[in-house]
Amino acid sequence: MIGTKGTVEAVNGNMVSVRFDGPVSMNEVGFVKVADKQLKSEVIRIRGDISQLQVFEVTKGIAVGDTVEYTGDMLSVEVGPGLLGQVYDGLQNPLPKLTAVAGMFLERGIYLDPLPSDVAWEFTPVAKVGDTVERADTLGTVPEAAFTHRIMVPFGLYGTYTVVSIKGPGSYKLRDTIAELKDEKGNTVPVSLSFRWPVKRPIDCFVERFKPTEPMVTRVRLIDTFFPVARGGTYCIPGPFGAGKTVLQQITSQNADVDIVILAACGERAGEVVETLKEFPELKDPKTGHSLMERTIIICNTSSMPVASREASVYTGVTLAEYYRQMGLNVLLLADSTSRWAQAMREMSGRLEEIPGEEAFPAYLESTIASFYERAGTVRLRDGNVGSVTIGGTVSPAGGNFEEPVTQATLKVVGAFHGLSRERSDARKFPAIHPLDSWSKYKGIINAEKVSYAHGFMRRGSEVEQMMKVVGEEGTSIEDYVIYLKGELIDSVYFQQNSFDAVDAAVSPERQKHSFALLLKIMATLFSFPDKNEARSWFNRLRQKFLDYNGSEWQNDKFKALEKEIESTVAEQSKGLDKAAEKILAL
Amino acid sequence: MNKVYSKIESITGSVITVKAEGIRYGDLAEVDTVFGTSLAEVNRLNGDLVSLQVFAGGRGISTGDTVRFLGRQMQVPFSDNLMGRVFSGSGTPRDNGPALHDNPIPIGGPSVNPANRIIPRNMIRTGIPMIDLFNTLVVSQKLPIFSVSGEPYNDLLARIAMQAEVDVIVLGGMGLKYDDYLFFKDTLEEGGALSRTVMFVHTASDPTVECLMIPDMSLAVAEQFALQGKDVLVLLTDMTNFADAMKEISIIQEQVPSNRGYPGDLYSQLASRYEKAVDFESAGSITILGVTTMPGDDVTHPVPDNTGYITEGQYYLKNGRIEPFGSLSRLKQQVNGKTRADHRALMDGMIKLYSAYRDTLEKKAMGFIMTPWDAKLLKYGELFEKKMMDLTVNIPLEGALDLGWEILSDCFSPEETGLRTELITKFWPKKD
């Protein structure tokens, strides 16, 4: 097929105006030829016979009169076996392979096949000749890492098809035809192990979308116990720079209880991305014992990569997530940071000279953010299996001001909000998620009434603290002071976690339930102290034991001994249980 | 041999437009005026209209002046002869030395493929406890110093440069006051560092366009030294001036302004410079320390805000000290796990207590009775500020850690520190 051609009329930054001579569609990909290079671009506006293309590369060297070739395809990703373990840029270029071709630096105009075409996959057919199939139906399977990768009817084949031929069990390469399908008009379509799908169109080959109910355990106490995330749900982590978003995401990506994790970095620091790139292959997946990288895909767009590629990266990430969901798997997409993505949108909108909205963001900011998060969900597939895509996005508002447009637009559409606070991170409290500002609409691993009872101490403790700022410690009753100390205890031994400590960095749900029960009992216990100094020093001692307890291996001797010590320390000072709490403890 | 155009169609600020064909985006040209010859760079093409930014500015340019396209992009000569020299933003000598033309290299090239990077692993010791102990500087790190006008940020930059162990220093000055330029030159000379320094300096009175070239020239040179195996420290001051120069030029060119008048691609522009920081696996490294002045001490201002999301942390300079709050070295955990067993715990524990001290100060200011606990915190805070935060202190990290335990034991009982028992057993000073 001969595509439409065009010539460059104007260059302004990374936008090129091109006069074209045939049909051109919106979001179509075109290549601008400059010297010996072809620069990938996307059509973002068409007026008469001029199309405007956003070039995904540096535009230096382009001249008026240079040729442009349109491809006829929207910006798409290739899906098929071999995606797991890959490190891509936002345009699905495999970065490690790029090294072999381009060397050390990110030379422009070099595009490689996203999937290895020379690897042989062990194919087992599922469908038979004569079967009637629809898009996303399974034709066969190949093993990929620890998963059974389904070879499906390409999602772009709308209507019903009959299987005309299908290969028997054996090894096949990516581009080998493994089946032929006949449509209702009698046309035959060959199917191979992979196909392409446009990133900006959600994959919708499912029967039903459910309300997310099952918790997605992250092993962060503050999240799992207090502000849980659900599989198939959405959550956001806004916070100023330096408040700990990155560390939190790294911990989540390693510990989240899902099958596959996709990290989409849009405009992040190379120095931090490299940590993930180098560490993941070294880390072991606690579930399989294999490298964590075998269940991970990294979309890595550092801040110095071209803006349009950064804009594309979250879509590339979510499309791959949806693809694996079609296999009945649970996938987590972590987008870091959606503010950089929104900023890329703003930059492109400015270049198009669109009328700017609030803070110069484009008017369609909210709807774009909403439709991105709406691509999450738990769904029932045509074969009855259930899969999910969970989306967690970080937001980086200026100065941590959550009133700004990106945070606000995100808050409208997510199910949980983990707001990071500058004060908490300044005081080196990790995670710096604010326990009073954050919320979640999902069900967690612990009874909600118990959680709410414990949370009450944090809330009331903070009220007492505020009051003390007005009337002083001397003007506070000892009862209120003890509530304040209880709140402080929850904060320091449960909300906070030591991310450097091998044991405390990631806590299993069983252990969370166990130590939460212990803490809840302390909350419910009535204490009496002669004065505030005694109270403070007793709580200091208790905190010390609890911190050592948090750092001991689950259920080893030291752990058990420290637990006994905590219990006896509490018993020494106990004046019985709060009557109101007895009911809650019994739940 | 190159075609000369002698009709300038329009002049707006420092941007001129000529009718020409076959010109490539980013190409250089020379503009001959009665005041001499200046470089200009193509920054917009529209049919046969070519817009160029004239480095020397638009003042005095006549429609009858000639424009000669060079058919190449901006370059900088690279050789060991650069050492000890000072150049302007157009690459001409600022000192009395000869102009250099040998081995021209392009500027503003691509950054390193992240897949090729190595995890930052080496600490840069500075002898300053607020850096070494609390916010360790790491080889290949990109870090700004957030500061308000009037703070001694250039002094701090120079001090770090003198004390840090590196092979080459590249100083990029943007909108520098002439005095500051001389200050750097004198300080580096006195410290014996001038011979391993290359300076690209744009002073406040030089044409704005030249300011834009400084970071790219500095980083291109730094990169070549790094590829030769040298550890290079690039000092950029002041990046806010750089951003303001971008703002000025984009508005003159009638670009739709984004936040507070800055161009929409401010983030991308800053990022492509900062991302040049790198540690090459089998060669040297580039570490970038920049100064970002915050107009009105406002960290939400677009320049510090965007910078913070690109860089690997920041040092806040306030009242002549590096603030414990807000200051952050994101890469510190790559190195501080290997220094000494107490480093990480002491770092967090001391800051937690310092944060409590600040709360107590507030209470004290409001006239509340100080409890015994408050009294301990007050003593601690004063010692911390006096012994740890003083930027003139020059002690090795291990000394600073010992000093930390000393301060803690002078003020608190062990369980008041929130530090784990095993560390306390090992490091708590035994007093007679």
Confirm or reject contact between B45 and chain A (CB < 8 A): yes
**Cβ separation A62–B25 shorter than 8 A:** yes
ipTM exceeding 0.85, yes/no: no
Chain B interface disruption, residue of A7, A8, A11, A429, most B CBs within 10 A: A11
* Chain B residues lying within 8 Å of A359, measured CB to CB: 259
**Cβ separation B119–A540 shorter than 8 A:** no
Query: Crossing angle for the helix pair A532-550 and A557-573, nearest 10 degrees?
Result: 160
Query: Crossing angle for the helix pair B266-274 and A338-351, nearest 10 degrees?
Result: 120
pLDDT given at position B193: 86
A330-336/A260-268 β-pairing = parallel
Chain B interface disruption, residue of A302, A469, A541, most B CBs within 10 A: A302
Which chain A residue's Cα is nearest to B356? A427
Q: Give the Cα separation of B20 and A486 in Å (integer).
A: 76
* CB-based contacts of B45, cutoff 8 Å, min separation 6: A8, A10, A11, A12, A62, A63, A64, B23, B25, B51
Q: Give the Cα separation of B84 and A206 in Å (integer).
A: 67
Q: Give the Cα separation of B203 and B174 in Å (integer).
A: 6
Confirm or reject contact between B297 and chain A (CB < 8 A): no
HSE toward the beta carbon, residue A579, CA cutoff 13 A:
0
DSSP letters for A422-462: HHHHHTT-SS-B-TTT-EE-S--SS-HHHHHHHHHHHHHHH
Q: Give the Cα separation of A480 and A482 in Å (integer).
A: 5
In A263-282, the residues whose Cβ lies within 8 Å of chain B are 267, 269-275, 277-279
Cis preceding linkage at B238, omega within 30: yes
**Cβ separation B325–A426 shorter than 8 A:** yes
For residue range B355-399, list pLDDT tens digits in order: 999 999 998 998 888 989 999 999 999 999 999 998 888 899 999
Confirm or reject contact between B118 and chain A (CB < 8 A): yes
Closest CA to B360 of B389, B384, B343: B384
* Chain B residues lying within 8 Å of A354, measured CB to CB: 256
Which chain B residue's Cα is nearest to A536? B373
The number of C-beta contacts closer than 8 angstroms across A and B is 240
B357: tokens are 């001290």
Chain A interface disruption, residue of B72, B268, B292, most A CBs within 10 A: B268
User: Cα torsion at A239, A245, A246, A252 (round to 10°)?
Assistant: -150
Asked if residue B142 has pLDDT above 80, the reply is yes
Q: Which amino acid is at A346?
A: R
pLDDT given at position B1: 46
Helix, strand or coil, per DSSP, at residue A581: helix
In A437-476, the residues whose Cβ lies within 8 Å of chain B are 468-469, 472-474
Closest CA to A491 of A453, A466, A519, A532: A519
The pLDDT > 90 percentage for chain B reads 70
Confirm or reject contact between A108 and chain B (CB < 8 A): yes
B111 to chain A nearest CA, in Å? 6
Asked if residue B221 has pLDDT above 90, the reply is yes
pTM for the model: 0.89
Chain B interface disruption, residue of A428, A538, A541, most B CBs within 10 A: A428
> Contact, B107 vs B74, CB < 8 A?
yes
Confirm or reject contact between B113 and chain A (CB < 8 A): yes
Q: Give the Cα separation of A285 and A289 in Å (integer).
A: 5
| Tens-level pLDDT at each residue, chain A (587 residues) | 468 999 999 998 888 999 999 999 988 999 999 988 899 999 989 999 999 998 888 899 999 999 999 998 888 999 999 999 999 988 899 988 988 888 888 888 888 999 999 999 999 999 999 999 999 999 999 999 999 999 999 999 999 999 999 999 999 999 999 999 999 999 999 999 999 999 999 999 999 999 999 999 999 999 999 999 999 999 999 988 878 888 888 889 989 999 999 999 887 787 777 878 888 888 888 777 888 999 999 998 877 777 777 888 999 999 999 999 999 999 999 998 899 899 889 988 887 888 889 988 999 999 999 999 999 999 999 999 999 999 999 998 887 889 999 999 999 999 999 999 988 988 888 899 999 999 999 999 999 999 999 999 999 999 999 998 888 888 899 999 999 999 999 999 999 998 888 899 999 999 999 999 999 999 999 999 999 999 999 999 999 999 999 999 999 999 999 999 999 999 999 999 998 888 898 88
- Cα separation values, B377 from A121, A348, A547, A562, B371, Å: 66, 52, 21, 29, 10
Which chain A residue's Cα is nearest to B282? A104
* Chain A residues lying within 8 Å of B335, measured CB to CB: none
HEC letters along B25-37 = CCCEEEEEECCEE
Q: Give the Cα separation of A184 and A171 in Å (integer).
A: 30
Place of tokens 């200051």: B327
Which chain A residue's Cα is nearest to B112? A105
Confirm or reject contact between A540 and chain B (CB < 8 A): yes
Place of tokens 């700022």: A469
Give strand pairing partners of A147.
Answer: A144
* Chain B residues lying within 8 Å of A541, measured CB to CB: 415
Q: Give the Cα separation of A6 and A202 in Å (integer).
A: 30
Residue count of chain B? 432
pLDDT given at position A56: 84
Helix, strand or coil, per DSSP, at residue B116: helix
